[in-house]
Structure 1
Amino acid sequence: MAINDNVLIKIRDMRDSLTPVEKMVADYILTNLEEIPLLSVKELAKLSKTSDASVLRFCKSMGYGGYRNFIVSVSASLGSMDDEQRDRYTDIRPGDSLSTIIANISLNNSKSIEDTLSVIDREQVARAVEAIGKCSRIALFGVGASGLVCRDAEQKFSRINKICHAYTDGHSQLTAATLLGHNDVAVFISNSGSTSDILEALDIAAKNGCTTVSITKHSKSELAENTDIVLSISTPEITFRSGAMGSRIAMLTVVDMLFAGVASAEYDQVKKYLTKTHNVLAVKHRK
């Protein structure tokens, strides 16, 4: 289950995977948050230029059996948010002062972590930690900014003596996926969940019988639907100007959860490895 289910975050993240009519309902809700708890099914259907049946299908797509349960969840989500939280993501804008930029980036990163905590499933995290702890080796797959997250995970898990490697280009990913087996874990990192190189590697890894884990946007995607374990993140990439800043922070946070989970479960052994690697690096730094 998610740590703190927030239906408004879920609507935002799943919008792109909805049908055109469901998107009309979603867009009306997201732009008129305060009035939604006061509306009946018929009123929301009329205002969103859809139908009663479309609104009910939308509620079902969001995981609710009926409109009433959906509205109760919307009210709870609104009640947990203050005015600043409701629209706190800020894009890069021309002419901002450096102090404004520092404040905005800090808020965006904090919000990415908060929203990810609202959607990530603790049971899925536990399954991933267990699988990584027991596996023979870890293969990490990602391109671009996601590839950088793979490198971070590689560095962390290598320090506790896990056989681990990051693959960040299409050719090496296909080669690595081909050599994976039942005792291995393959972690696929992609915000969109639709990166072609990642999906190709996933198809091969899954056929080889290894455990597959995805770290991806909280939405319906080919990656999420075809991995054994899904670790959802939530962060809007506001425009092309923002690059992958928010998603990178959210993904790094999930990697830290996995690393800390494995390290805690195997603490006595891990402590020795961390001490050894710390000492050898400390000697190098003194030279």
Structure 2
Amino acid sequence: MPSTLQTALQFAATEIAKSLVLAQSPTPSPTLEGKLITFNQRTLDFKTHSLIRRPQCPTCGDPEILQRRGFEPVVLESREKHFTRDGGHRALTPAQTVQQHEHLISPITGVVTELVRVTDPANPLVHTYRAGHAFGGATSLRGLRSTLKHKSSGKGKTDSQSRASGFCEAVERYSGIYQGDEPRKQATFAELGELAINPEDCLCISDSQFARREEINQNRQAAHDWIPQRFDPNQSIDWTPVWSLTEQCHKYLPTAFCYYNYPMPKGQRFCRADSNGNAAGNTLEEAILQGFFGVGGTGQCGAVVV
């Protein structure tokens, strides 16, 4: 309606004028910088959405920063623990974790599109949250439908712990999406020598499963039952540097193994990324610990199929 357009234009003009005046103020004042403001005509609500600059942005950041960081050694530090009652050791409490990063929650500009409780708030025993995260990169209607269904879940002994769990899982999943600016190098398995890690050593797929690949894939009931093609060590592919905590040096894993939605030619679909072992944390050390616990827990519950 014309009236809503005029409302938006008048509001924008007012906010721009306020921003110009506040920018000249000798004391720090909130401005429009780094923000997007929306007005809901139905509920008459204003909301502010944070615009976060990506450090590797070629326009406003450093496009080489990820390349440099990817080949730097990982140096662990001792961190003070502030939450150890359940679910591992954390640098911050669950409530502090969400509060510090809640600017990442927005249906428009956020890494996390929503964070809502799905269990009865009156139930003191069950606390579950749902968090949305956009994978993007869909090239078909089927892919778009699948992308829109992506949700993360959080659980915990308390409401705040469940909320932090759902939020961090959504951030973790979004952080694993292939963007195209990740540190990597192209080579064959043989060219990298002992620095290369064969993806088949990480897939936990038996020779029998590989031999029955077509049969298994045709009859599979879930996406995670998919059996990839055999890895060709003579094929030149993208490799991502990873840091070995045991050998204290960089190794290389196929980029397709490390990131979701990595574009792979049909003849090279020898693996794909999986969220098992991934974790988000308030510090690097916290994320490593939680990722290790995740792998250990999954391994203890796994079944071997031959």
Give me the TM-score of the superposition, normalised by structure 1: 0.26
Higher helix proportion (structure 1 or 2): 1
Larger radius of gyration: 2
Which protein has greater RCO, CA pairs closer than 8 Å, 6+ apart?
1
Give me the TM-score of the superposition, normalised by structure 2: 0.25
